[in-house]
Amino acid sequence: GAGVSQSPSNKVTEKGKDVELRCDPISGHTALYWYRQSLGQGLEFLIYFQGNSAPDKSGLPSDRFSAERTGGSVSTLTIQRTQQEDSAVYLCASSLGINNEQFFGPGTRLTVL
């Protein structure tokens, strides 16, 4: 079946602009994660959705970052007033639940000029 998909694959934006990154998880996966991967660093946890429960936003680096998950499926990560330090690859993953294998999307490479 289809894996996790993300769009766009690449996004170049100017400092101060808002961006939206989209994630389509595997159908039936109740858990959805967003991570940020910066050069030379590991995956930084951003936010987690589990079913209809309130998301855990503890990893979001600032209030410029927000995410939503509509209908328990598609998720959108929004970064407002982008800064150059936001440049990174943003990865989405989904799983059947905690302790289950996470299936990763190909990522969105964000470049803020």
Partner 1 sequence: AQSVTQLDSQVPVFEEAPVELRCNYSSSVSVYLFWYVQYPNQGLQLLLKYLSGSTLVESINGFEAEFNKSQTSFHLRKPSVHISDTAEYFCAVNTGGFKTIFGAGTRLFVKA
Query: Which of residues 11, 34, 88, 105 is near partner 1 by CB under 8 A?
Result: 105
- Contact criterion met (CB below 8 Å) for 108 and 10: yes
Determine the Cα–Cα distance for residues 81 and 53; give it in Å rounded to an integer: 28
Q: Which of residues 51-90 bind partner 1 (CB under 8 A)?
A: 56, 59
Q: Strand pairing of 31-37 and 75-79?
A: unpaired
Q: What SS3 state is found at 1?
A: coil
**Nearer to partner 1 (CB atom), residue 14 or residue 52:** 52
Q: Which stretches of the chain bind partner 1, using CB under 8 A?
A: 3-4, 31, 35, 40-43, 45, 48, 50, 56, 59, 91, 93, 98-99, 101-107
